[in-house]
A and B are shown apart, each in its own frame.
Chain A
């Protein structure tokens, strides 16, 4: 079991749907939402949230600074 658990919060209004975070995620946590934001972009979202380890790769590569990352010890 992973030592850390993580989660991300995506500011969907700022997301432009470039999918770089989806490619950067080593755990395949992120995917694109079928919904769109007010600018018409499909935004990214967690599709496998139980796999997130809080590595911050998505946050670092995001060009629009719309990803916040949370990380904690895995208590399960």
Chain B
């Protein structure tokens, strides 16, 4: 059996979804953002929500997310994506509204907006990419940076006496009455990607059922910021990130 016999349209089992545009993503090679963009696009296509979706782009590496997923987008001021999503959802209650945010956006400058949107129980989905570093600005310490982790602004490693502890914001959000689903996933291997895709689908289903706010945290790598290869970043993440940010559902009601 030759490869040319296998590569036929009727045998195709996986390929790029039509919701991803032809633009080349600006992310570094191996960045988790690409995988999560792809999963969100796949879920929107499978659920037939393309015409109903309004997405809110953050500030951070994913600031150009609107160039890659072919749905309606709004660009938010830094950290204000949940506030803007609340407004969009209240004005257009039948739309599927989600925000896409990194840890610098969601857990630092946007902490107040995130907590209050979740506490109000807005029927939106929040996708939170946690790579424990400020990627876009050059690898500075973020609230989520691990204890002892070296970054551009804590070259000797994060010192909790000086910088405080890593912020487990998803655990905080799970305590709020407004959230219906808070989960922490990753995308470093096939099984993890499949689980994350299910979590994204569930978040959209919760929004449609008006159950409250869904938060999907995706523990990710920033191989450029961490100074490792994409594969070594995955290994480092499994060894260090998963200890502080264990995977699984934090809340599911």
Contact = CB atoms under 8 A, between A and B. Distances in A.
* Most B Cβ at <10 Å: residue of A46, A67, A72, A76: A72
Contacts of B35: 60-63
B29 A41 contact: yes
Size class of B's contact patch? 35 or more
Contact of A18 (B17, B194, B230): B230
Size class of A's contact patch? 35 or more
A31 interface: no
A69 B29 CA distance: 21
A60 B193 contact: yes
Contacts of B193: 60-61
A76 B2 CA distance: 10
B206 interface: no
Interface in B1-57: 1, 3, 5-8, 11-17, 20, 24-25, 27-35, 38
Given A16-B30, A18-B29, A60-B193, A76 B1 contact: yes
Interface in A37-58: 41, 46, 49, 54-57
B190 A61 contact: yes
A59 B196 CA distance: 15
Given A16-B30, A41-B29, A61-B187, A66 B7 contact: no
A9 B14 contact: no
Contacts of B14: 56, 59-60, 67-69
B3 A19 contact: no
Contacts of A67: 14
A56 B7 contact: no
Contact of B1 (A20, A57, A74): A74
A7 interface: yes
A52 B43 CA distance: 26
Nearest to B32: A63
A66 B104 CA distance: 29
Contact of A19 (B11, B12, B231): B231
B190 A24 contact: yes
Contacts of A55: 190
A14 B24 contact: yes
A68 B16 contact: yes
B189 A70 contact: no
B34 A64 contact: yes
* Most B Cβ at <10 Å: residue of A19, A57, A62, A64: A64
A75 B1 contact: yes
Contacts of B31: 63
B12 A68 contact: yes
B42 to A, nearest CB: 9
A27 B252 CA distance: 36
Given A24-B189, A63-B31, A68 B25 contact: no
Interface of A: 5-7, 9, 11, 14, 16-20, 23-24, 41, 46, 49, 54-57, 59-72, 74-76
Nearest 6 pairs of A and B residues by beta carbon: A63-B34, A18-B30, A16-B29, A18-B29, A68-B15, A69-B14
